[in-house]
Amino acid sequence: MTKPISTGYNAGPMFNAYPDSLGGTLADIIEFLQMPELDNVFQSFYILPSVFNTDLDRGFSVIDYELNEQFASSEDLKKLKDLEIELKLDFVLNHLSVLSSQFQDILKNGDKSKYKDFFIDWNKFWTGYGEMTDEGYIMPDESLIKNMFFRKPGLPILFVRFPDGKEVPYWNTFYQEVKYDELDAVDLVYAMDIQYTTAEKLADLVNAEISAGKKPKEIDFGVLSNFKDKVVELLESKRKYLGQMDLNIQSPQVWDYYEETLRKLSQYGAKIVRLDAFAYVSKKPGLKNFFNEPETWELLAKVKDIADKYGLILLPEIHSKYEEKIHEKLAEKGYMTYDFFLPGLIIDAMERHTNQLLIRWINELQEKQIRVVNMLGCHDGIPLLDLKGLLPDEYITNLIDTVVQRGGHVKDLHGKKNMYYQVNCTYYSALGECDKRLLLARAIQIFMPGKPQVWYLDLFAGKNDYDAIKRGHKEINRTNLTLQQVREALHREVVMKQLSLLRFRNTFPAFGFDSKVTIDESETHILKIKWENNGYIAFLEADLKTFDFSINATDNDGVVSFTMT
């Protein structure tokens, strides 16, 4: 088959995985992509950010954008280019790791650091907008933070210690961890000029309390209390940090860093850059500090100006409720956006045996010219609460209950109900681990307007990994596979048929962002979608009751080119 003419936006299927998801390295994934069964299946590859030098959150806490030497090499990127596979890579706009060279310079040099304004000093930001507390941070006026969006309990602060002993609070929206090294009796002898047996008792006491989660100041030293101040000072002087520190976009240095990063991603072969956590970047006293308007639009416009220089397409990533219409606003301003509604809409259509909401969404995508990347599953949970305003609340609740009954785990934001749910579950398990349903879901996905993204575990009909939940709920859907497991899976019918569907989507000229998509009238449990482009026609008829479907495609001479039932 002949590939469709490019219109600037590549609409072919996109593989999605961590660099170690298959085999353990990016080289192993390339070996997978080079297998004959994968010929002409994918045009793009979204490599999750653990491909970079990162420490936490499986890649989303970036130290720098050098390649992770454990997973990837420049030779790997060259091979992907030789395969003519375009890359989608992440750029985390809001934060950098504590271990970044910029933040480490602050820890080393304090107020003399050349990066002192690169991150957000909480007290400088809120000066004049609150009162200083005994703990050393400004508590903003209640009126200024009552509507502020919080990702975790308490204020988003990480206290760091400067070389002169000064404690400075920095803005820290996401993860943080403070670590204290265990004390050694010999070190205490030298540091405090005390007897060894006393040092042993102190070390045993303090190490047990630190292991139990107590902060140094909270430790009860009992009969050894006369040593408390010196021991606490010793512990604090050596404390270590992990975390994701918010960047200060008022600093020209941050914009230099933005440009340097986008240039590097372009050199790696990126065509699409996913903007992670961009909605948290703009911060002003009194605002929600999540997607502040118009400031966030101004931020995106400036980033786009840089991206345009390097031929990059921006894909801003944001979870929001349908009723907020942020997806529409992004499209109106010319950005691609994620279709986070499709995963839930497909499950709902199968559960209620109705095409109505899918048809409504297809028509809306077409009429409003919303260019999307869509998916079934992904590295995050299934975003069912995004559907609010598109689905009645009762239907959303039923969907959540259904997926939970099938082994999913619900996550809400730090215990607050009705904030944002993630339902962590493989998409295959969410469909009841039914091959027929998964194939229908994939068929519907490739006939939806947009660029289909394919999570590696969905391709292999991966089931929930309940043992992995101990490492975090999201790990239920992140099982790494060996290449031997991959080779065996390629012989399964559910895998082979998905590959056939994706190859058809990738190579048949009826598909593309410039194609005409129409819905044929039918009974509500039947979905009929037709794609047309330059005389090529692809037609899907799907039964949402029986989960049967048929696909027929004809070329511009009317000759049947592809069928599947």
The catalytic site residues sit at: 276, 317
| DSSP β-bridge partners for residue 533 | 536
Residue with tokens 């072919």: 12
Rg (CA), the chain: 26
Residue of 107, 93, 117 whose CA lies nearest to 173: 93
DSSP states of 213-260: T--GGG---GGGGGGHHHHHHHHHHT-EEEEEEEB-TTSHHHHHHHHH
What is the bridge-based pairing of β-strands 536-543 and 313-316?
A: unpaired
Q: Collapsing DSSP states into helix, strand and coil, what is residue 347?
A: helix
Task: Judge whether 167 and 237 are in contact, CB under 8 Å.
Answer: no
481-501 as b/e: b if 16+ CB within 10 A: beeeebeebbeeebbebbbbb
Separation of alpha carbons 208 and 221, rounded Å:
12
User: Do residues 461 and 494 lie in contact, with contact meaning Cβ atoms separated by under 8 Å?
Assistant: yes
- Are 157 and 122 contacting, i.e. CB atoms less than 8 angstroms apart? yes
The set of residues, in sequence order, having a beta carbon less than 8 Å from that of 209 and lying 6+ positions away, is 218, 219, 220
Distance CA 189, CA 184 (A): 9
Amino acid letter at 159? F
